[in-house]
Amino acid sequence: MRRLMMLILFILVLAVALVALTPLGYILNRSGVGALGVGWAKIDGTMFEGRISGLYAGIQPIGDVSLKLRPLSLLTLQPTYDIQWGGAAGQGTANIRLSGRALQADDIRMRLEIGALEGLEPAVRAMGGNLDVENGAFKLTLAGCETAGGTISTNTLSTLAAQYGRQFGEIAGPIDCVDGAFDIAMIGHSDNGDQVEIDSQAGLAGNNSFETRIQTSDGQIIVALTQIGFVREDGKFVYRQSRSGGELR
């Protein structure tokens, strides 16, 4: 019995070692994540520890990603990685899990630079600032975004308002999924009672929409808004943008 147990243990250790030494590129190329709009320029390392260079999702470049496997996750046949990433668009950390044809993530913490987000119109990107995600999570399938969570905030309006001697609080809201796309609804207020609402949807295929509604009576802010494309609708200043299949509208 002792010899049998030792043999079983040896086989298990050997199997785990062989899996851990499998090239990371081999695993990802057969994982189905490419069908989710995720791609890369180069992959180095093994399933145990590796690096993805030039990662992108849809039309958005992400940067370089370092992955380290949680060995015990192999026992559930759902490889789970601790990842760190960084690039021109920002940086962050997360836990990523491959489960069948789904890609799942949790404990996402990241900062994105507004000026580097390809899905936004140049005038909006020129406003600068950043987006921060805390406690983010998602599940992606071939149908797109299935579930998502966490909070997202931005200091873009506070940065713009400071140029005119004004103060604007943080704009924040939850992250969700609607019809296969990521859905974000944020709201914020200024010290003078101005209100900003931002609604955005983003799909993996590059389809997205973005709408900002600002309610203000400040003449300087109104001038600044009209200069970057906002129009007055029902007492608010509104900016809309949409992109379908990579075509901006």
Q: How high is the pLDDT of residue 16? A: 55
Give the single-character DSSP code of 75: G
Closest-CA residue to 87 (of 62, 55, 112): 62
What digits encode the pLDDT tens for the residues 136-161? 999 988 788 899 999 999 887 777 77
Output the CA torsion sign for 121, 131, 161, 199: positive
| Alpha helices, DSSP H, located in the chain | 2-20, 24-29, 122-125, 156-162, 219-227
Q: Which residues pair with 69 in a beta bridge?
A: 81
CA distance 95 to 224: 41
| Most confident range, picked from 20-34, 39-53, 132-146 | 132-146
**Mean pLDDT to the nearest integer, 55-63:** 81
Q: pTM surpassing 0.85?
A: no
Q: Is 213 helix (H, G, I), strand (E, B) or coil?
A: strand
Output the CA torsion sign for 175, 178, 180, 185: negative
Q: Cα separations (Å) of 125 from 72, 99, 150, 240? A: 42, 35, 23, 14
pLDDT band at 183 (very low <50, low <70, confident <90, very high): very high
User: Is residue 38 a contact partner of residue 54, using CB atoms and an 8 Å limit?
Assistant: no
Q: In the block, which residue shows the tokens 């805390």?
A: 134
Centre a 10 Å sphere on the Cβ of residue 164 and count the other Cβ atoms it contains: 12
CA distance 44 to 244: 33
User: Is residue 102 a contact partner of residue 146, using CB atoms and an 8 Å limit?
Assistant: yes
Torsion of CA 39, 246, 181, 149, to 10 degrees: 60
What digits encode the pLDDT tens for the residues 70-119? 888 877 778 888 999 998 888 999 998 887 778 899 999 999 888 887 76
Q: Cα separations (Å) of 145 from 14, 69, 106, 142, 176? A: 37, 24, 14, 8, 9
